[in-house]
Amino acid sequence: MSYDPKETAPEAPAPKGPVGSREAQILYVAEAEDGIRLDRWFRRRWPHLSNIQVQKMARGGQIRVDGARIKPEGRLTAGAAVRVPPIPEPIVRAPGEHMPLTPADIAFAKSMVIYEDDLVIALNKPWGLAVQGGTKTTRHVDRLLSAWGEGMERPRLVHRLDRDTSGVLLLGKGPEAAKRLAGAFARRQAKKTYWAIVMGLPKPTAGQIDLHLKKSGINDYEIMRPAEPKENGAEPAETAYALISHAGQRASWMALRPFTGRTHQLRAHMKAIGHPILGDPKYGDEKSKELSGPLKLQLHARRIELDHPKGGKLIVEAPISPEMRAGFQHFGFDQGEADRDPFEGVRRMR
């Protein structure tokens, strides 16, 4: 696949700051933004807008594309004329949330890089760092992406990791690269391998979990629980697992491969088969909490393999985190025991 960086040059630069506007205006979709969702197009230009605000403007008909209504998730085409209604000024947030990055912030962001080329950045996200912000979260990966610049220079997230899951997190440089990477994840073409330390010794030691999941609870108390396929809100979820090593019957070092991308899928699936991931305060039970002791969540996104935006394969591996290393030391696991790809030849059941 050929790839010309010139093709990603925008017709007009996006506004760099989170400023509002008092009058409606017409803006045109750049060539590099062909296929982008309407809500993401807005958030790229006005980061202070919430998803709810964009949805309200779109559904109320305030936003028009070539004169027609459009849904928030609708895709834009290059050259389309977007009617932008008056944009509210940014609301003053919690101290530090919208402050410019400090030199220390920039140095920290760049220290996470384990691979970078002209189209892709791969980070080794540490334990405890959220990917995106929230009401009480002002330090997160999305904010730190400003270390690479603003507007079209700012890399884009193409997938997610839980706050307490460490490991490989990919970013796209420019909208075209981000669109291709995100598309690979959406089409389940990315091969993701996680390492986890779980309670007990699964039997059989390798297999696949095909179990629907459904969100239950709200906010910080939201969890995924097993559900019947016909249950309202239930989503199909499939995970392959394989034993790498075990510490007697107490704990096992597992390789996990999600074939679907449900929230907390690996954590919920391992709990469902009676082997919760250690250090998990949300999906653990009394026995796993006792075995975990002071250990943090023992889940690490070890490896990602997918098509590179300009051809060929992109394979990235992330060294284990200090939190995961503590688990290895506690149970006596050696990284040299791991096969490069324990799921070679394994395919989805569906």
- Tens of pLDDT, residues 87-134: 887 654 444 445 788 999 999 999 999 999 999 999 999 999 999 876
Residue 34 clears pLDDT 90, i.e. is over it? no
Q: Which of 47-51, 80-84, 238-242, 317-321 has the lowest mean pLDDT?
A: 47-51
Using pLDDT thresholds of 50, 70 and 90, give the confidence band for residue 347: confident
Q: What span, in angstroms and rounded, lies between the C-alpha atoms of 239 and 213?
A: 12
- Give the per-residue pLDDT at 170: 96
Which of the residues 39, 162, 164, 280 is marked catalytic? 162
Kindly report, residue by residue over 282-325, the tens digit of the pLDDT.
999 999 999 999 999 999 999 999 999 999 999 999 999 999 99
pTM: 0.74
- CA distance to 63, 86, 163, 229, per residue, from 26 (Å): 10, 11, 38, 46
d(CA 164, CA 185): 21
Q: 128 — alpha (psi -120 to 50), left (phi > 0) or beta?
A: left
Active site residue 105: no
- Rounded-to-integer distance, Cα 228 and Cα 212, Å: 6
pLDDT at residue 8, as a whole number: 35
| Confidence class for position 187, pLDDT limits 50, 70, 90 | confident
- Which residues face 166 on adjacent strands? 300
For the CA atoms of 127, 308, 253, 123, what is the dihedral angle to 10 degrees? -20
